[in-house]
Amino acid sequence: MLKRLLPYLFLILFFYSGHTQNKIDSLKNILEKTTDSLSQLTILNTLTKELIKSNSKEKENYLKEYIKLASSLKEYDLMASKSRFLIQYYIYNGKLKEAKALSDSLLSYTSQFKKLDSEAHLLLKRAAIYFTEEKFTKANEDYKKSYDLFIKSGDSIFAADALFFSAQVSTDLNEFVDAVNSYKTASNLYEKLGDHGYALRAGSELISLYNVNGFLEKSIEENDRLIKKAKANKDFNANASLLGLKINAYSKQKRFDKVREALDKLTKITNEDLDESWQGYYSTFILVNELQYAINTNDLTKAKILLQQLDEFASSKQLPSYIETDVLNVKANYYAAIEDTKSLLPILEKLLFHNGGKTNTDVELKSRQKLADIYSQRGQFKDALKLYKINTKIKDSIYTNQKTNAFLYYQTEYETERRLRELIKQDAEIEKLESDKALVVTRRNYQFAGIIIFFLIAISFFYYRHQQKIKEQAYQNLLLNNKIATKSEEINGLLSETIQHIKSKERIAENLQKLSNETEGITLRSIIADLKADKLEDSKILVLKKNIETLNYEFLKALKQQHPTLTKTDIEVCSFIKIGLSRKEIANLRKTSMDAIKSTRFRLKKKLQLSKDDSLDDYIRTL
């Protein structure tokens, strides 16, 4: 008992002593003077927490010491819990081999864990290692296993995170249906836990996924649902982001009346509710889409005025680099509409050949088409044919992916409906069984009642017969007495005999009743069939991410030391900003939406403790 109280005594002495040493040094001194293993483990726990908070270089050694001690004490759950921080440290510092070896080693203790979340957290970390190594299939397997374990342990917030990460990996693997289901479930979990921001973020990712794969009606339907939630939570940034996604979907559908309506709403929110940090982006976004709307409705006079306004806006203010592609694209569309080939050609060449990978697939296809048309008009048929072939190949690939994803999606919807019908059928069968069971019980009750009535009738009958025998015996006795009386009374001979004879013939009576009962019952019906799924893969772009991390090694090291609370996503985005990539470029590299990048940058400014007026890009470049 005394040994168990020792760590608490040491902690009390630590907090209330008048030592001038700092907290970490005090804990080190206490640790050196402690010989009891359990007490050492408790002190090491507090010490490692402080070292992690201060991002001390000593944390690695003390974390190793804690893990080793916990293992020797057979405290395997504590060992697993603390090892997460050491694995994360290895991942951040590019020591993937050490991180993988440690996670595999600790997962060998799975049978010794008493808590399900011990294994779940280790799987979550190993999945991150696999993702960094571009082993996406293995990463997804671990994310899903960790999700199942977190759900069973009741740790819903980590379950939602695991599923959200799994959805992103499934998107990279082009496993459309799996990504859709994972985003939906993660969003619902976040919503139930009250994390409305991440619920909207998961929902926005789902909307982007629908848009890319041609599910525009589903995208708009989900968008409407999320906008209601964003309004209820007064999340104006999310509302603006969702309106931007809706404008893109309506534009693809050529529903320009709806584009007009969404643009007016976005303009109102931008002018009245958004933070200044977002107003620059959305003002540019609105100008770009107003210009595109004028082109689509053939109002070229207004389009010319809006183009001038866009140029003036770009010259008077620093135009956000991440929207440069959108600006170039809408300018190309304007010059194509007025058939100004001279102005159009350099913009198309920049979009296709000199834009550093900023151009998205849709813009790239349209730009290549326009350039091929110009080459064809000029008689450069060989160059035009080359561009047409490239476009045809890309379109075929997109069409195949969208067709496959559509098939798998609707197959899943059908199977979901089929499972629902199966459940209804099972419920009906259960109801019928319950009804039959009740009928059997009723029949048994009637049978039991019949048996009881039978015995009652039998007893009554035998009782009646017994009473009849008594009466007959009494009657015989009376006859005998009468005869004696007749012989002894000679005087009244004939008269007495006649009177007694009449009296002896005045006694006898009897009566009976019967019963019957009936019952009846019920029946029901059933249906159905099933299909099968397939999946596609694509994962090339992460090679570029890995090279960028190698180039930024010193910067990343400094960033992690100064801001240890940053997530992997935060650090990756900072790395891209450091080398001067635009938001659009970052979105393309991460295979995610512009809105997701906007959310990440907004969260980064808060984590880096920057004010609204501070520039995130400038701060990162100074590190």
Q: Please give the pLDDT value at position 383.
A: 83
pTM of the model: 0.58
Residue 421 has pLDDT above 70, yes or no: no
Tell me the C-alpha to C-alpha distance, in Å, between residue 68 and each of 80, 114, 156: 11, 18, 30
What's the CA gap between 189 and 184, in Å, rounded?
9
Structure confidence by residue, pLDDT tens digits, 86-140: 999 999 898 999 999 999 999 999 999 999 999 999 999 999 999 999 999 999 9
pLDDT, residue 63, reads 93
| Exposure on the CB side of residue 502, measured as CA atoms within 13 A | 5
Q: Is residue 531 classed as helix, strand or coil in its secondary structure?
A: coil
Cα 45 from Cα 358, distance rounded (Å): 47
pLDDT in tens, 319-351: 666 678 888 899 999 999 999 999 999 988 888
Residue 606 is predicted with a pLDDT of 85
Return d(Cα 188, Cα 534) in angstroms, integer: 26
Of residues 471 and 479, the one with the higher pLDDT is 471
Q: How many contiguous H segments (helices) and E segments (strands) does the chain have?
A: 27, 0
pLDDT given at position 593: 84
**CA dihedral sign, ordered 120, 121, 127, 130:** negative
Average pLDDT over residues 187-210: 92
Higher pLDDT, 531 or 496: 496
Mean pLDDT of all residues in 498-503? 40
Whether 587 and 593 have beta carbons less than 8 Å apart is answered as yes
Cβ-defined contacts of 429-432 (< 8 Å, 24+):
429/524, 429/526, 431/524, 432/522, 432/523, 432/524
Q: What is the mean pLDDT of the chain?
A: 79
Domain 542-622 CATH (choose: 2.30.30, 1.10.287, 1.10.10, 3.30.1490): 1.10.10
pLDDT, tens digit, 9 for 90 and up, residues 363-402: 888 888 888 888 888 888 888 888 888 888 877 776 666 5
Q: What residue ranges do the domains of the chain occupy? A: 392-538, 542-622
Closest CA to 329 of 373, 365, 372: 365
Share of the chain above pLDDT 90, in %: 39
Q: What is the pLDDT of residues 555-604, one digit of tens each?
A: 888 888 888 888 888 888 888 888 888 888 888 877 788 888 888 888 88
SS3 508: coil
The tokens for 565 are 């609370």
pLDDT at 404: 59
Distances (CA, A) of 218 to 253, 327, 387: 12, 28, 33
Per-residue burial over 20-59, b = 16 or more CB atoms within 10 Å of its CB, e = otherwise:
eeeebebbbebbeebeeeebbbbbbebbbebbbeeebeeb
Q: Give the end-to-end CA distance of the chain in Å, rounded to a whole number.
A: 52
- Cα 261 to Cα 250: distance, rounded to the nearest angstrom: 10
